[in-house]
Structure 1
Amino acid sequence: MLTQMASVGVNVSGNVSAMICRGNFTAKELFSEMAASSFSKALLIFSTLLTGITLVIFMEIVVYVSIKVPYGARRGYTIFLLGLFPVFSVTSLASIYVPRAAIVASWAASLYLSLGLYIFILLILAHFRGIDTMVRRLQDVEITLAQPPLACCCPCCCSKIKLTHQHIHRLRLVVLQSALIQPLTLFIASILWTDGLYIPAYISKTSAFLYLTLISLISTLVGVYGLTVFYKVSIEPLKKYWIKEKFIALKIVMIVPNVQTLLLAILVRSKVIKCIAPFSASLVSSIIYNALVICEMFILIASSRYVIYKLRQRNRRRRESSLLELQNMIVPQHQTGCTQVKFNQGSKDEINDVIASDEMKAPEGSRIVRYIETDV
């Protein structure tokens, strides 16, 4: 149970009335208190609408990805990563509506994010079509281990390596530790919270919140480091798959909520965020945090929608030019009843994501050899 904090308020006539600030509200009690404040009602409506819009945009993107990306692992991984935004938005909204469920909602969001970190690694491997192919394509590429956020300031201490199977497995373990430690810390926090030993946004030498938050933040930074090394070696070969934009979005979801939690806790400790009767400072901090997360997830999903829109426009232009190139490369062979299309490496890259069967007519009795690859 959250601790109760008391404050004294003075009315206009000068009479002093005691007002209790507490954080252990039920949903019914919270709504009855918020109904008296226009700002509180506006915040609830705004958060709800923003979460709804985030869900609608997510559904639209899922439909687009389901149509454009062939059935398989890449489609599933991409949709799972895009699901980070609505999941964080919905769990944050649930934390605003039901304050007592904030720990459970945070645990669910952290569990999904932890799986998302490992899914991102699997998505990169899927784009390379396996570890063996990745090692073969990048065997001559030197990788520097001086990467943010941990080793960017120590290039002299970090040697360069060439990618091997062992290095890939080690990088996967670095990311996997974050996928395991973050949900574990929140699970421990939920157990301590039920016994009154874990108080969100409360910092002291004996505070479980302080130590669990630091462990989670350090684990996140180590996980980001592993992802960054993996990303840096993959950015050029996978440039057409928009891997940079996906990594930036994932990194924001990883780091920003953790940093916000710690900063808000410091503001509560320094009494910048104060008790606003009848809400305790920790509850006010929790509402601010969740409202910020909802806004951030909306911005990220809208940015993803914009990137996919630009991708659609680019693919349309490439399709038109590539279809014309395909028509010029087709050489009918009436003797064999087959149409041969000769590709060099450059033309393969240019003809990606082209479906020729519906838009280009082949000579009667012939076949068209197609090379199809999507960029999502």
Structure 2
Amino acid sequence: MANCSEVLPYTSSLYPEVRDEPSVIALTVIVIILFVLTVLNYAEELWFLCRVYLHGPNRKYVIFILTLFPVISLCCLVGLLIPRSSLIVELIASILRASSLWVIVKIVIGYFGEESKLLAETSDLTFTLQSPPCCCCCVCLKGSPLSSGKLRLVKIFCFQYVVNRPLMVFILILLWTDNRYSDTDEMSPSNPGTYFQILSTISLLFAMWGVIALVRAVDSRLSGNRIRAKFLSVQLMTVFSVAQRALLSFLASRDAIGCVGTHGSMVQAYRYHLVLLVLESFLLSLIARYAFRFQEPPLTYEDTTEKPETKYDNTAFKMDET
């Protein structure tokens, strides 16, 4: 492989090089330890949920969110050990990260039992799209009660990202197989990844916009359920995955990140991103532990349905203190 190559290395050339680099070996061991700690934390949370959280309507969504962190960490570890798998692991991570925003919306609805109950319980609350990241300064957007149309708009904002982001990564994989794109290419008009990154960022901003507006609207009803902490763990995971990679790639393109051995600056930026993401996954898994693993207070409201069997069971959310 040429010196300072910007092509992700094969394992056949990567491993002989790192044998003589103790710092790289030590860093890899630290990454593996962080991954194991993330998995152990996840396993204990699953044991807790299976023991005391058997029939809650949000149980499957909670498990999905908690699964996000060890899987992202595993994807990063695979990307470090097998660099040429970068787009495959990014496709898996993109599906999980995009779906997690949709799952947060489902968790909010699940606390009330169904959409009609959510709308009935929040009729006296103010919902406004004057919120970050898109329209925090738009004073023309006045607040009003949450309606079915606005809730549908929030769901559309989230669902479009669930579809768009994995689809864009899949198209990039097709371009990569045809040698028209590389994950370490610099951002430029001739790089098709630049346009996909711009579209993906716009899609993400709309998804974040909708979820933030919904969480802010219902926060007073769900403050005891730590709904902001639940969303924060997912939000930061998505932001770190996207913004951090973009920042490191920009620094590498300006030679702020140097070439190491046969690995060019963009390859090094990609490796630094994966290492940091493993650390961040572990830290965010602790935030998720705080957000989900505790005794949640029951919600009290009148059941608006006529069928007794569909009555919302608040006791399903009672959980032991850690």
TM-score by length of 1: 0.76
Q: Say which of 5, 14, 17 aligns to 1:30.
A: 14
SS of equivalent residue, structure 1 residue 160: coil
Alignment match of 1:299 (pick from 283, 304, 309): 283
Question: Match for 2:268 among 284, 299, 302?
Answer: 284
Q: Deviations over 1:160-215 (max 9, x none)?
A: 22212121111100111111111111111111122222222412221122221121
Indicate how the Cα distance of structure 1 residues 53 and 143 shifts in structure 2: closer, same or farther if over 3 A, else same: same
Q: Which residue of 2 aligns with 1:325?
A: none
- The partner residue of 1:212 within 191, 196, 200 is 196
Residue correspondence of structure 1 range 256-271 to structure 2 within 5 A: 256-271=240-255
CA-CA distance at 1:159 after TM superposition: 2.0
How far off is 1:281 after superposition?
A: 2.0
Residue type at the aligned position of 1:145: L
- Structure 2: distance between partners of 1:87 and 1:21: 29
Matches within 5 A, 1:42-191: 42-154=26-138, 156-191=139-174
Kindly indicate which of the two structures has a greater share of residues assigned to helix.
2
How far is 1:20 from its partner? 5.5
Q: Over the residues paired in the alignment, what is the CA RMSD in angstroms? A: 2.3
| CA-CA distance at 1:48 after TM superposition | 1.0
**C-alpha distance in 1, partners of 2:232/2:106?**
17
1:198 alignment partner in structure 2: 181
Letter in 1 for 2:317: T
CA contact (8 A) 1:240 1:375 kept: no
Q: If each structure's strand is expressed as a fraction of its own residues, which one has the higher value?
A: 1
Q: Distance in 2 between matches of 1:47 and 1:115?
A: 26
Measured at CA, do residues 117 and 371 of structure 1 come closer, stay the same or move farther in structure 2, by a change above 3 Å?
A: closer
Which of 1 and 2 has higher RCO (CA within 8 Å, sep 6+)?
Answer: 2
Structure 1 position 307, deviation (Å)? 5.1
Aligned to 2:305: none
Distance across 2 between alignment mates of 1:93 and 1:120? 26
Choose from 230, 235, 238 the match for 1:246.
230
User: Alignment length, in residue pairs?
Assistant: 307
Cα distance change, pair 237–306 in 1 and its aligned pair in 2 (3 A): closer
Provide the C-alpha distance between the structure 1 equivalents of 2:168 and 2:245, rounded to a whole number of angstroms. 14
Unaligned 5+ segments in structure 1 are: 7-18, 319-344, 350-369
1:247 partner amino acid: F
Q: Name whichever of 227-236 and 101-110 sits farther off.
A: 227-236
Deviation at 1:109, TM superposition (A): 0.5
Equivalent position of 1:226 in the other structure:
210
Tell me which amino acid in the other structure corresponds to 1:279.
H
Contact 1:21/1:276 (CA < 8 Å) preserved in 2? no
Q: Which residue of 2 aligns with 1:274?
A: 258
The answer to whether the 8 Å contact 2:161/2:207 transfers is: yes
Q: CA deviation at 1:308?
A: 5.6
Any conservation in 1 of the 2:237–2:284 contact (CA below 8 Å)? no
SS in 1 for 2:135: coil
Distance in 1, matches of 2:24 and 2:234, equals 31
Q: Is the 8 A contact 1:92 1:291 kept in 2?
A: yes
Corresponding letter in the other structure for 2:167:
L
> Could you say what secondary structure the match of 2:220 adopts?
coil
Q: Which protein is bigger by CA-based radius of gyration?
A: 1
Higher mean alpha-carbon deviation, 50-59 vs 235-244, is at 235-244
Identical columns (%): 22
Q: CA deviation at 1:375?
A: 4.8
Report the alpha carbon displacement of residue 67 of structure 1 after superposing the two structures with TM: 1.9
Answering whether residue 317 of structure 2 is matched by residue 374 of structure 1, we say yes
Cα deviation, residue 371, structure 1: 7.3
Which piece of structure 1 moves more, 157-166 or 224-233?
157-166
- SS of 1:21's partner is coil
Q: Does the 8 Å contact 2:55/2:316 carry over to 1? A: no
Distance 1:235 1:269 in 2: 42
> Normalising to structure 2: TM-score of the pair?
0.89
Matched residue of 1:237: which SS?
helix
Matched, 1:39 2:23: yes
Rounded to whole Å, the distance in 2 between the matches of 1:159 and 1:122 is: 25
Per-residue CA distance 1:307-332 (angstroms, 9 max, x = gap) = 566x35xx7xx9xxxxxxxxxxxxxx
Matches of 1:371 and 1:188 in 2, distance apart? 44
Deviation at 1:100, TM superposition (A): 0.6
C-alpha displacement of 1:86: 0.7
Local SS of the residue matching 2:144: strand
1:119 Cα deviation after fit = 1.3
